[in-house]
A and B are shown apart, each in its own frame.
Chain A
Amino acid sequence: MALLQISEPGQSQAPHEHRLAVGIDLGTTNSLVATVRSGVATVLPDANGRPLLPSVVRYLNGGKTEVGYAAQARQAEDPKNTIVSVKRFMGRGLKDVAHVESTPYDFVDAPGMVQIRTASGVKSPVEVSADILKVLRERAELSLQGTLSGAVITVPAYFDDAQRQATKDAGKIAGLNVLRLLNEPTAAAIAYGLENASEGLYAVYDLGGGTFDISILKLSKGVFEVVSTSGDSMLGGDDFDQRLFCWVVEKAKLPPLNPRDMRLLQVRSREAKEHLTLHGDAPITAKLSNGELVDLKIDTETFCSITQTLVGKTLGPMRKALRDAGLAVDDVKGVVMVGGATRMPQVQRAVGEFFRRDPLNNLDPDKVVALGAAMQANVLAGNKPQGEDWLLLDVIPLSLGLETMGGLAERIIPRNTTIPAARAQEFTTFKDGQTGMSIHVVQGERELVSDCRSLARFELKGIPPMVAGAARIRVSFQVDADGLLSVAAKESTSGVEASVTVKPSYGLADADIERMLRDSFEHAKDDVHARALTEQRVEGQRLLEATKSALSQDQGLLTGEEREAIERAMRSLESLLAGTDHRRIKHAADALNRATEDFAARRMDAGVKRALAGRKIGSL
């Protein structure tokens, strides 16, 4: 066995050395971090050997935080400052949050995303998520003994743009280089498909703590292609706990509860639900703060009947996903079950009946997403030689569009479009002399804008005055490989152009992120400069390696002069890497990036030519 190679964080690594990359499942209830070691994906446990990290953060006076089991243990005692299931608030306003009345938090209805007032200040769900991610990052860096070169973070496939953006921001604040946001069911399909060498059409049924996804994938040698996806980003195991909690309150004829008792009974309800997975009945006992004793027993039959509508709510999205894929139930070769909530026997039964086959459970439903994400992170970090890696083709879950006259949503990119994708549409002015146009970007399937999610609004100004209908305003949408949207609008007549680009971020401006980054470093007593230097060195090194390998493969695409210019930029970056000025390193890296722009485009063209050599469009 080879000795583990340990390199000083931030020190240059030899080319082709294994880069440290992890996959993170940032779950509603639990989070995990996994990596690929010696070709095998494994979950990284904490110092006590526990693989899961409860997604619970407790904020104490003086800016101290507790994350995971420690916070979980105190949740009934300190419910206002102990945030559970924060994923449900990501990218969401107060009006979107279900069961506000039965959460103990002190919400602040900030524009865009809801915030929570805690003992250590007002916290955005993004910051709470970042605190969970930070613990996982530290766990991974300790275990792998080095700085992470990148991470893949999973999100529910049915997350909209705001929720995705919020997740990526959380990664950034936690100091992670987010290589990709990966859809949870897709991650599970990777782990399952590679493990079982599966081919054909598979459905992934993912019922987590707070979200439900169903994805249909076509698996073939080396390609994972998502055909369609559907779901409900407000449905999960938490809702089953909530039903049980309501049953308890009703059955025991309890008066309105204080936050402590409420949380206590919610915890007991969850425990009872888990107990019912393996037993015919479960006790629910709790001593309330007024001394009253709740002592109930629930059997499987009652639990199934009070949660029947929740299980039923997953059937609609399943039918929709099949319809969108143009498939019948019998076309599906297997159904992979993912997420802790799929352990409930009534869920297994319902899915089995729907697909008329036994669901596949041979991978741990808690770990499979993190394992798949680790495998993808390993590929994205470039640790697999070409030929041995695979290709992942994913889709957007919800249509993207614009508001038009009368509050109607005009669809620009329909749901289930393969990403990356771009589409443009032309609009015009409706008043004479109109010089501005307000653009409202929405996401959803409904016809009325008011029923869709509002992603961004911006104003295009400086349109030259002309008669109504004469201006040509081209609005273009670009969705990247993370499923994130950017929108640009451009007026192009009479030679005048104006353009604006917005990155829709639900409430969080770049300045907010910067502030949170600063705050988090101050609290962690981390040295901002040292961190920035490390990052720039890793980034610069990565760029040098990538350029070197590009040159060795395709130097024929360059003239001697062009090659000389690129090499000059490389030498300048190389000489600065050993220095301590992170700004100069960044400048040199930017310069190298600019110097290789044409080269990159040519390499890409050459790749396409190779793939298409000798083919005609009619023959495809």
Chain B
Amino acid sequence: MLDKAYRDIQSQVHPDRFAHAGDAERRASLQWTTRVNEAYRTLKSPVQRGKHLLELQGVDVAFETNTAMPAEFLMQQMELREQLEEARDARALDALRAGLQKNKRSLEGEIADTIDAKKDYKGAADLVRKLMFLERLDEEIDSGYEALE
């Protein structure tokens, strides 16, 4: 659905449609395409999408200021990071990533349920923050692969 809407709009506003148009139209096209790309990126990323949907409900996820997380979750994160540091080959990284992907999927499901069904926006904000931690770990796994090469 999202992909289709994105493509439909892009096919209306993309600069390629206006390469032979006047400056005014080219400028408007550039601005619109930029906005559409930004919107698509926001809605496509589970963390950004969650943050945006919660903002629409007046709840600020506050990644930067609110770093208080349950102790149990933090312990688990620290363990995962230790495993990452100890990972010496691609196989170990693959295993870490597979586990992380599973965790992310289930957390994303939980967020959708908390927002859509339970309408517990405060609770959802905590979950989105957790998801953000997992995404950071994902990025660190990427750096792990790069360090191997």
A278 CA / B34 CA spacing, docked (Å): 48
Known contacts: A319-B145, A604-B32, A611-B8. The answer to whether A417 contacts B22 by CB under 8 A is no
Tell me the nearest residue of chain A to B11, going by C-beta.
A391
A294 to B: closest C-beta gap in Å = 38
A421 CA / B15 CA spacing, docked (Å): 12
In the complex, how many residues of chain A place their beta carbon closer than 8 angstroms to a beta carbon of chain B? 56
Q: Is the CB of B9 within 8 A of A611?
A: yes
Q: Is the CB of A380 within 8 A of B34?
A: no
Chain A residue contacts of B56, Cβ below 8 A: 617
A247 to B: closest C-beta gap in Å = 27
Known contacts: A619-B1, A620-B5. The answer to whether A382 contacts B19 by CB under 8 A is yes
Q: Which residues in chain A, 278-327, are within 8 Å of chain B measured between CB atoms?
A: 316, 319-320, 323
Tell me the nearest residue of chain A to B15, going by C-beta.
A481
Chain A residue contacts of B116, Cβ below 8 A: 618
A180 on the B face (CB < 8 A): yes
Q: Is the CB of B13 within 8 A of A608?
A: yes
Chain B residue contacts of A83, Cβ below 8 A: none
A543 on the B face (CB < 8 A): yes
Q: Which residues in chain A, 526-552, are within 8 Å of chain B measured between CB atoms?
A: 542-543, 546-547, 550
Q: Is the CB of A420 within 8 A of B15?
A: yes
B45 to A: closest C-beta gap in Å = 12
Chain A residue contacts of B10, Cβ below 8 A: 391, 393
Contact mask B1-31 → A, CB, 8 Å, 1/0? Answer: 1100101111111111101111111011110
A289 to B: closest C-beta gap in Å = 44
A543 CA / B5 CA spacing, docked (Å): 30
Interface secondary structure of B, over-half rule: helix
Q: Is the CB of B24 within 8 A of A597?
A: yes
B37 on the A face (CB < 8 A): yes
Q: Is the CB of B142 within 8 A of A323?
A: yes
A371 to B: closest C-beta gap in Å = 18
Q: Which residues in chain A, 567-604, are within 8 Å of chain B measured between CB atoms?
A: 592-594, 596-597, 599-601, 603-604
A498 on the B face (CB < 8 A): no
A95 on the B face (CB < 8 A): no
Of the residues A19, A393, A620, contact of B20 by C-beta under 8 Å: A19
A223 on the B face (CB < 8 A): yes
A62 CA / B34 CA spacing, docked (Å): 48
Tell me the nearest residue of chain A to B35, going by C-beta.
A422
Contact mask A212-235 → B, CB, 8 Å, 1/0? Answer: 000000000011000000000000
Q: Is the CB of A150 within 8 A of B2?
A: no
Known contacts: A180-B19, A319-B145. The answer to whether A596 contacts B25 by CB under 8 A is yes
Contact mask A605-619 → B, CB, 8 Å, 1/0? Answer: 001101110010111
Chain B residue contacts of A323, Cβ below 8 A: 142, 145
Q: Is the CB of B12 within 8 A of A608?
A: yes
A222 CA / B7 CA spacing, docked (Å): 10
B33 on the A face (CB < 8 A): yes
B43 on the A face (CB < 8 A): yes
Chain B residue contacts of A392, Cβ below 8 A: 16
A393 CA / B11 CA spacing, docked (Å): 10
A381 on the B face (CB < 8 A): yes
Chain A residue contacts of B38, Cβ below 8 A: 421-423
B41 on the A face (CB < 8 A): yes
Interface centre among A19, A592, A615, A617, by most chain B C-beta atoms within 10 angstroms, is A617
Tell me the nearest residue of chain B to A380, going by C-beta.
B19
Q: Is the CB of A596 within 8 A of B19?
A: no
Of the residues B14, B17, B22, B37, contact of A421 by C-beta under 8 Å: B37
Q: Which residues in chain A, 386-434, are within 8 Å of chain B measured between CB atoms?
A: 386, 389, 391-393, 417-423
A564 on the B face (CB < 8 A): no
B149 on the A face (CB < 8 A): yes
A133 CA / B43 CA spacing, docked (Å): 42
Q: Is the CB of A542 within 8 A of B23?
A: no
Known contacts: A420-B30, A611-B5, A612-B5. The answer to whether A546 contacts B20 by CB under 8 A is yes
B126 to A: closest C-beta gap in Å = 21
Q: Is the CB of A481 within 8 A of B28?
A: no
Q: Is the CB of B5 within 8 A of A607?
A: no
Q: Which residues in chain A, 477-497, are within 8 Å of chain B measured between CB atoms?
A: 478, 480-481
Chain A residue contacts of B9, Cβ below 8 A: 607-608, 611-612
Of the residues B21, B22, B27, B30, contact of A481 by C-beta under 8 Å: B30
A324 to B: closest C-beta gap in Å = 8
A437 on the B face (CB < 8 A): no
B146 on the A face (CB < 8 A): yes
Q: Is the CB of A542 within 8 A of B20?
A: yes
Chain B residue contacts of A439, Cβ below 8 A: none
Q: Which residues in chain B, 95-134, are within 8 Å of chain A measured between CB atoms?
A: 116
Q: Is the CB of A417 within 8 A of B7?
A: no
Q: Is the CB of A543 within 8 A of B22?
A: yes
Q: Which residues in chain B, 33-58, are within 8 Å of chain A measured between CB atoms?
A: 33-34, 36-38, 40-41, 43, 53, 56
Chain B residue contacts of A620, Cβ below 8 A: 1-2, 5, 43
A447 to B: closest C-beta gap in Å = 10
Chain B residue contacts of A389, Cβ below 8 A: 16
Q: Is the CB of B20 within 8 A of A600?
A: no
Tell me the nearest residue of chain A to B8, going by C-beta.
A611
Interface centre among A380, A391, A611, A618, by most chain B C-beta atoms within 10 angstroms, is A611
A603 CA / B41 CA spacing, docked (Å): 24
Q: Is the CB of A592 within 8 A of B22?
A: yes
A249 on the B face (CB < 8 A): no
Tell me the nearest residue of chain A to B1, going by C-beta.
A620
A513 on the B face (CB < 8 A): no
Chain B residue contacts of A611, Cβ below 8 A: 5, 8-9, 11-12
Tell me the nearest residue of chain A to B52, going by C-beta.
A617
Chain B residue contacts of A417, Cβ below 8 A: 37, 41
Chain B residue contacts of A420, Cβ below 8 A: 15, 30, 33-34, 37
B49 to A: closest C-beta gap in Å = 9
Q: Is the CB of B16 within 8 A of A550?
A: no
A347 on the B face (CB < 8 A): no
A584 to B: closest C-beta gap in Å = 18
A380 CA / B14 CA spacing, docked (Å): 11
B81 to A: closest C-beta gap in Å = 18
A421 CA / B33 CA spacing, docked (Å): 8
Q: Which 8 A-B pairs have the closest CB atoms?
A: A607-B12, A380-B19, A611-B8, A600-B25, A600-B24, A481-B15, A597-B24, A611-B9
Name 5 extra pairs, CB < 8 A, besides A392-B16, A418-B40, A420-B34.
Answer: A180-B16, A420-B15, A478-B34, A599-B24, A612-B5
| 5 pairs of residues in contact across A and B, judged by CB atoms under 8 Å | A180-B16, A600-B22, A604-B25, A608-B36, A620-B43
